[in-house]
Amino acid sequence: MKDKIITWGLGGLLTVLIGLNVWWFMTRGQSQHALLDKPAPEIQLPLLGAVGGAGEAGAFRLRDHRGHVVLLDFWAVYCGPCKRQMPILENIKGELKGESFEIISVNTDDPRDADRVERVSRYVSAGGYSFPIALDSGEAGYQFGVERIPTLVLVDKEGVVRYVHTGLSSQSDLTAQIRKWLDAAPKGGGA
């Protein structure tokens, strides 16, 4: 009898903890992010090269993409939700082809790992992902306030952060957010 009470008590506690974690994860909405409606931090990141080397394809500089809506996808190879989200992003890229929209996938795997470039290259190649992959040393994630992955940050045509989402996003919700800012009239005076 005592064992059943302990088992039920631990099971109940575990259920409450899981529920609180899910609630916290799901309710950490964009309205709470410090960068919303503020200019995006200026970042420069090396791009994963076409043949697997870092920097061979140049560098990604956010300021070079003014006039485009840019979706930054902070992810890592070991992240299960990130792996589920990558095909969604590839679909969105195809759906919005020809529009003023870009996806930059920002890999957050440990920069001290000697096999990082090779592992990321294999993963990207195996998935057939065609959007640019930038390699973050941790600085860009810090500047954008990334605490968990995947985190998506949508920057409008004027360089202002308009949407931040942590966790897996549905294709329809994400496309709606992107379209909202693709269709937005420029406010003028943006940097």
Question: How high does pLDDT run on average in the chain?
Answer: 86
Query: Residue 168's closest CA among 79, 104, 70, 101?
Result: 79
Residue range 172-180: mean pLDDT, rounded: 96
pLDDT digits (tens, 9 = 90+) for 34-60: 899 999 999 999 999 733 444 446 899
Choose the weakest-confidence range: 23-27, 66-70, 87-91, 163-167. 23-27
pTM of the model: 0.79
Bridging pattern class, strands 69-75 and 151-155:
antiparallel
3-class SS of residue 81: helix
Q: Report the pLDDT averaged over residues 144-156.
A: 97
Q: Enumerate the domain spans of the chain.
A: 1-32, 34-182
54-73: b (≥16 Cβ within 10 Å) or e: beebeebebeebeebbbbbb
CA angle 28, 77, 69 (to 5 degrees): 55
Q: Is the pLDDT of residue 1 over 80?
A: no
Q: At 36, list the tokens.
A: 């919303």
CATH 3.10.20.30 fits 34-182, yes or no: no
